[in-house]
A = this chain, B = another copy of it.
Amino acid sequence: MQKKNEYAIGVDLGGTNIAAGIVNSSGKVILREKLPTLAKLGGKAVLGRIGQVIDALLLKVDPKIRKNIKGIGIGTPGLVEHEKGIVREPPNLPGMDGMNIKKFLEKRFKVKAFVANDANAYAVGEHTYGAGKGTKNMVCITLGTGLGGGIIIDGKLYVGSFETAGELGHVIIRKEGKRCLCGSTGCVETYVGANFIADRVRADIKKGKKTSIVKLVNGDLSKINPIIIEKAARQNDKYAKNLWNELGAEIGTALISIVNTLSPEMVVIGGGVSKAGDLLFKPIRKQFQEIGFSFLKKKVKIVPGKLSDDAGVLGSSSLVWNHI
């Protein structure tokens, strides 16, 4: 638990940028830094740049605050060996595979460091500072390029025996469905990941479906993305509205399996695609009403995430308090 006047550094390691910040006990980012990742320069160079971003924060911050920084949390793509703090096979950051981020940070900055998968870090962030504050058992999903997940059990991040728990994008909704990159078929991610949505819209347009999306991108179908599709739906485009309804139903179906497994008090949904708001939450909640136990329908809350633009930094910083 974080005390008043205690601070943590959060680092959000992405394929494009490294964003970092110092977070106070109210969950506010009081100082921010950012550097391009330059992943092509290799893993060691990226580690060095993570160090640089943190250096910049420490240089600028009030010394009184500096001495109350209790740790560094970092969220990264890929699988993570949590105890050791090693990252495995991060997509977009191939050079980082096998790197011990925890050891590097602890040696260089002489504070405790904690590493987690970025979707897991986000779940801890929503639990510490956001929509899931005060819950005991909570599930969090992030809708972006893929569908990421994180599970809080008894107030702590749950990673399971092989540190892969919460891979909720690979909950199957159609046994005979689309082949997923992971090897299975019909994983929910293959229906609701941002790229898959855009691919589907392009295919539908080529098949002759009428939609104002074509006009919104001036005929350049490569520009189709969830923001454009949301815009079309807000302008009452029938195709786009239907699409959001379908996407919501797909996500709702996966949530039924997850809730029947975990019986959480809350499901928090964040990530870029979730910004479609009601267009997505209405059909998710509608589908969820199909769940078996009638009292679960009423009790399990399905809510949007509360951490907005700072979600990555806040989530990463909260790893410090999840462990201490």
A residues lining the B interface (CB < 8 Å): 79, 135-137, 149, 151, 153, 158-168, 170-176, 180, 182-185, 187, 249-250, 253-254, 256-258, 260-265, 290-293, 295-296, 299-300
Contact = CB atoms under 8 A, between A and B. Distances in A.
A291 B184 contact: yes
Total copies of this chain within the assembly: 2
Contacts of A158: 153
Given A168-B260, A182-B293, A183-B291, A265 B161 contact: yes
A137 B160 contact: yes
A261 B295 CA distance: 23
Given A161-B263, A291-B183, A153 B153 contact: yes
Contacts of A171: 257, 260-261
Contact of A261 (B136, B137, B262, B292): B262
Most B C-beta atoms less than 10 A away, residue of A135, A263, A265, A291: A263
Contacts of A257: 170-172, 257
Contacts of A292: 167, 170, 180, 182-184, 187
A274 B61 CA distance: 62
Contacts of A151: 261
The 4 closest A-B pairs by CB, nearest first: A160-B263, A182-B292, A161-B265, A165-B263
8 contacts: A161-B265, A173-B175, A174-B175, A180-B292, A182-B292, A183-B290, A184-B256, A184-B291
A182 B297 CA distance: 12
A249 B184 CA distance: 12
Nearest to A138: B161
A164 B258 contact: no
Contacts of A173: 172, 175
Contacts of A265: 161-162
Nearest to A191: B175
Contact of A175 (B161, B182, B253): B253
A254 B258 CA distance: 11
A284 to B, nearest CB: 13
B260 A159 contact: no
B167 A261 contact: yes
A263 B292 CA distance: 24
A238 to B, nearest CB: 22
Given A170-B256, A180-B292, A261 B165 contact: yes
A185 B256 CA distance: 10
Nearest to A179: B290
Contact of A263 (B159, B182, B185, B295): B159
A90 to B, nearest CB: 14
